[in-house]
Amino acid sequence: MTDLLVVCTFNIARSPLFERMLQAAADDRLEDGAVAIASAGTQGAVGHPAADAARKLAADRGLSLDDHLSRPLFYLPVDEVPLIITMTRAHRQQLLDTGEDRERRTFLLRELLTLSQRLRDDRELASLPSADDDPQARLRVVAAVADAKRPLELKRRHADVPDPLDGRSSSFRRLGREFDEATSELTDVLFGPRRSPATRG
């Protein structure tokens, strides 16, 4: 089962890179494999490798996209995923247009980042056990609490993470910096605070 899904257009740059970065953060915070993170594209063809620039960004962070092959959304059981993160409003709208009951579980990345401080301060989220105990339950609560706090957030300007596949290396550098910040900001919210060794044992 996929616990968290990241969506972009072709599934060769933004979504696979952020998928691997979040998966690495989850595996570092929890037991390896406790959370299953996947990515897909709204217009993705099947079996395309990650863009070279995305692979380099991953390698610079000690990760690898060498085994990544693109896949479209319909390859995944989207309606069973507790939390979905999209790169743009168009991606989010396509998900809402093609399935029921997705609105409350589907967020723009920048929208979720804007909400993250409110999520950190929320009593329901603060009292939830670490994802060590039940990562799927935590992600469902994160989605529910975030949805309740976002009535005006979609009206923000610059809500979309731009497609870096425009031939400019600076676009990928900006993407890498944004994903570094996003991963750092969202790790506690999505997966819970880091436990001390004594608490884990």
Confidence tier at 18 by pLDDT (50, 70, 90): very high
Give the pLDDT band of residue 153 (cuts 50, 70, 90).
Answer: low
> What are the contacts of 170-173 at 24+ separation with CB within 8 A?
172/13, 172/53, 172/54, 172/56, 172/57
Residues 13 and 172: their CA atoms lie apart, in Å, by 9
Q: Encoding tokens for residue 136?
A: 């799927």
Quick one: pLDDT at residue 134?
Answer: 86
| Residue of 99, 61, 93, 88 lying closest to 156 (CA atoms) | 88
pLDDT of residue 13: 97
The predicted pLDDT at position 192 comes to 87
For the chain, list the domains and their CATH numbers: 4-192 (3.40.50.2300)
Q: Does 197 or 194 have the greater pLDDT score?
A: 194
Phi then psi for residue 138, to 5 deg, are -65, -45
